[in-house]
Amino acid sequence: MWICYNIFEGDFMKIIVCLDDNSGMLFNNRRQSRDRVVCEDIVKNLEGEKLYISPFSQILFENFRDDVCVSEDFLLNGNICFVENQAVSQCDADEVIVYKWNRVYPSDFYCDIDFSKYFLTEQTELEGFSHEKITKEVYKRVV
């Protein structure tokens, strides 16, 4: 496991998730899908910050070790967190970035973010490696 000693002390939290059209995230404890273009886009937009991930997500970011911190408590330690296998509604994030696969996969674990607390500020299309079209949506907290 990679070791990171930066402890989150800021007031701003950003959550990043990948979802199917039904807000599904996992099926039978496995990610529904993955696309290296998504990981590249996430890291490209860190703006000098570290990305905090769980050990479950470590394989996705093997090529970006300098930009990523792996921690069991990543949601408590980081201000930019990529989430695949945990509930996040309690995080009270200021910003949520969603990468949508634009299809429905079998799922048994769903994103629990209440999007009525957010407004859509940006929507772009990415040409993925494994997906023809991936939609990136950026949501900001309603104040």
The answer to whether residue 1 sits within a structural domain is no
pTM comes to 0.91
Range of the domain at 130: 14-141
The answer to whether residue 2 sits within a structural domain is no
The answer to whether residue 76 sits within a structural domain is yes
Give the pLDDT confidence of 33-63 residue by residue, as tens digits. 889 999 999 999 999 999 999 999 999 999 9
| Burial of 92 (C-beta count, 10 Å sphere; 0-12/13-18/19+) | exposed
The answer to whether residue 117 sits within a structural domain is yes
| pLDDT at residue 6 is higher than 70 | no
CA separation for the pair 86, 26 (Å, rounded): 10
Give the pLDDT confidence of 52-99 residue by residue, as tens digits. 999 999 999 999 999 999 999 999 888 999 999 999 988 889 999 999
